[in-house]
Chains A and B, each alone.
Chain A
Amino acid sequence: MRIGKLRWLILSLSFVLLLFGACAGLHLGSILPTFSCCFVPTRAGTCFFLPLQLSLGTFTWPDMLLFLNRFFWFSLLVLLLGRAWCGWLCPLGFFQDLLDRLRQAVGLGYARFSAKWRGRLSWVKWIFLGIALLIPLWVAFPVLFAPVALDLNIPFCQLCPGKYILPLITFSRDRILVDFESTTRMVMSSLGLLFSVTVIIGAFVKRRFWCPYCPLGLLMSWYRKWSLFKLKKDDATCTHCQVCANVCPLEIDEVFLSRGRVDVTFSDCILCLKCIEHCPEDDALRADFLGRTVYRSTSKGFFRHPAIMNAETKHE
């Protein structure tokens, strides 16, 4: 099976498993490094950002112990697969890819950001991460504006586009509400709604629109040096043809630009392996798991790719 198809299959299966698993009694704990959203009642496990914010928000000794335990398991999971969690398992990733397929079916092109804009927007994920880490501390020790602080429980989850999108596509409509209980809650939930709408529109016009701004992805990218799953490049066969940069949904151009560097798992890389699938050179790009090559680029694979074969037979 072609890898693109395999990834789509796994992504779809994972979507069903993670968001409907509870119906089959599956429970994987609150340690998942992926957007298995806490607002979906039928989820099989919970996104690690929920316990992260909750524990920081209470800051009691037993809570921190529990948190450390979860953090340990979370780290293990990230070390095992790296950001392949994003490319192969994330339900929000599935949703974005779904919209992407819809766009392609309609025959529309996709938007691109220039390197300048990508640079300018790269701080967005840091702000989200800051919100997820710092505001819970204020919640734990509300020395100023206590009533506001108390409404800022799990602040990132309130803003996260997954909060609205994932319940929406798992038919839990009762969760998709703007909360009018207090001004703070109203502001937060409207902002969340705004981000969700942006992501829905964004994912339709741009591939993996949300992923460069995801704070969970940022956190996971720090493990990439020690992760078992890696994208590697052989400089001796790379022709710097830019094909990999053009097919990359995150528009990473460092992979083709880099010279003399073997490990090319850059921080935004979600290990979708599209670059390997479309690389026209033998062994120029490869995916290593535990130091063993599991997938590599071939010239033959390039020329036998359905993108070419289908078009050829269609025109004949």
Chain B
Amino acid sequence: MNKPLQSKASSRQLRQISREAGRQLAAMQELSNAPQALAPFIDALEHVFVANDPEPLLFKDGQSKPVIGIYCILVPEELIYAAGAIPIRLCGGCTSPCAAGEEFVPRDGCPLAKSSLGLTAQQGLAVYDLCDVVIIPTTCDAKRKFAEEVSRFQEVWMLEVPHLKESEISQQAWLQQVMALKDRLEVYMKSVTGKRTKITPKGLEQAICQQTAAQEQVRRLQLLRARESALLWGRQAMIVAGAYSFMEVGAWTEALRVLNDELETRTAGSVCAEKTPRLLIAGSPVIFPNFKLPNLIEEMGGVVVIDESCVGERMLYDPVGHPERDLRSQMIALAARYLMPCICPSFAPNEDRLVTLKRMIKTHKVDGVIYHVLKGCVVYDFEVTRVERALKECDVPLVRIETDYSPEDVEQLRTRIEAFIEVLHLRKEKNQ
């Protein structure tokens, strides 16, 4: 693949990214009592952000494949794998490219859009440059207009997401979208490889099973983290989830299986003290390397036991049902899996999100919720009052933290989070 010449500005940006990511990864490695099987995930992110060499992660035995970038969690990855390409998730978490992104995103736009657009516009980071096509679903307003801006630099396929899930019209419309994506992928693969590509029931079944295997391991990890003694720091789990974006799913699943096996037989006990408050991060996604929030929480004496983020626990939670082995049933099941259980706040009504949060609080014995709002993320912010009301029923306190990717407000946030965790400590003692 021809790489364009890198401008000076972008090489500075690359240095900044590698420093930013490198610092975060180094901090991860310093955590004591870390499971050994975490290494492949740290390694993967190092390849992507520090060494800027993601290809070994994506292509097994050096065989190059077309790479397709995807945003959000509504793009059926199974179709991309079945077509013979590799999907990578591009929602960006780097701080430094935000400035470049601000040229295209209004000031009040969210940092995720700014960061991703900055990374796309200023070529250099290989994972963005590898993608010849990016697929962007029309979830929130930011993503919709963001897609238009990205199309200046890359070929963009937009995927129209209906926002009222329950009507049959919406479901049909979405099914049509997914069908159209399948056709488009086939045509695209033919143009790239020169060979006629057809997504077959067999190929799709294989891709679905591959994804299901990954989901099985994700649920296993979630169960392990629900244990009374925390086996893993939240940040470490986020590294695992973050690495998924840039790894071939089979390799990632295998690495996670090893990690789960290690955690299951672990004798070293909890990573933190017994009475450490258990927290849930709800709201806007925490994307590597922007670990500002989990870092603060876990430095100030809490432990993140679960999150509700679209780049974390939710990303690989819902499986495709067991469809019959014909393409139509498979497509229907696939379309349903991506639309129906999704609790992205761009859907309305979104009652299911409250149900999910309550379930997580119960299963993971959560003491408090940190509600993360990225500046400009209107949809998540809209739901904060609903979530607060629902959490009152469970008697779990919530604190809303609005921030972006810049490190400026870290110390202010530290004070707030420290106070919140103090409250949780007191509540915990009182309850015992």
Question: Which A residues have a C-beta under 8 Å from some C-beta of B?
Answer: 104, 107-110, 114-115, 235-243, 246-247, 256-257, 259, 278, 280, 299, 302-303, 305, 307-308, 311-312, 315
Contact = CB atoms under 8 A, between A and B. Distances in A.
B103 interface: no
A278 B326 contact: no
B223 to A, nearest CB: 9
Interface string B354-384: 0110110010000000000000000000000
Nearest to B217: A303
A278 B168 contact: no
B325 A239 contact: no
14 contacts: A107-B326, A109-B327, A241-B336, A241-B341, A242-B340, A243-B321, A243-B333, A243-B336, A246-B332, A247-B321, A256-B340, A280-B319, A280-B321, A312-B213
Given A240-B341, A302-B319, A308-B212, 15 more contacts: A109-B324, A110-B329, A235-B355, A237-B359, A239-B352, A241-B321, A241-B336, A242-B340, A243-B321, A243-B333, A247-B322, A278-B321, A303-B219, A308-B322, A312-B209
Which among A109, A259, A303 has the highest number of chain B CB atoms within 10 Å? Answer: A109
Contacts of B149: none
B212 A303 contact: yes
Contacts, number: 81
A191 B351 CA distance: 49
Given A243-B336, A259-B351, A299-B219, A107 B321 contact: no
A115 B209 contact: no
B20 interface: no
Interface residues of B, number: 35
B326 A236 contact: no
B406 to A, nearest CB: 35
Nearest to B206: A315
A257 B328 CA distance: 22
A2 B55 CA distance: 43
Contacts of A115: 168
A257 B166 contact: yes
Contacts of A109: 324, 326-329
B340 A240 contact: yes
A256 B336 CA distance: 12
B149 to A, nearest CB: 33
Nearest to B323: A246
A311 B205 contact: yes
B216 interface: yes
A293 to B, nearest CB: 19
A246 B320 CA distance: 11
B318 interface: yes
A238 B215 CA distance: 17
A304 B7 CA distance: 52
Contacts of B327: 109
Given A110-B324, A246-B321, A241 B209 contact: no
B337 interface: yes
A108 B326 contact: yes
A314 to B, nearest CB: 9
B358 A236 contact: yes
A184 B212 CA distance: 58
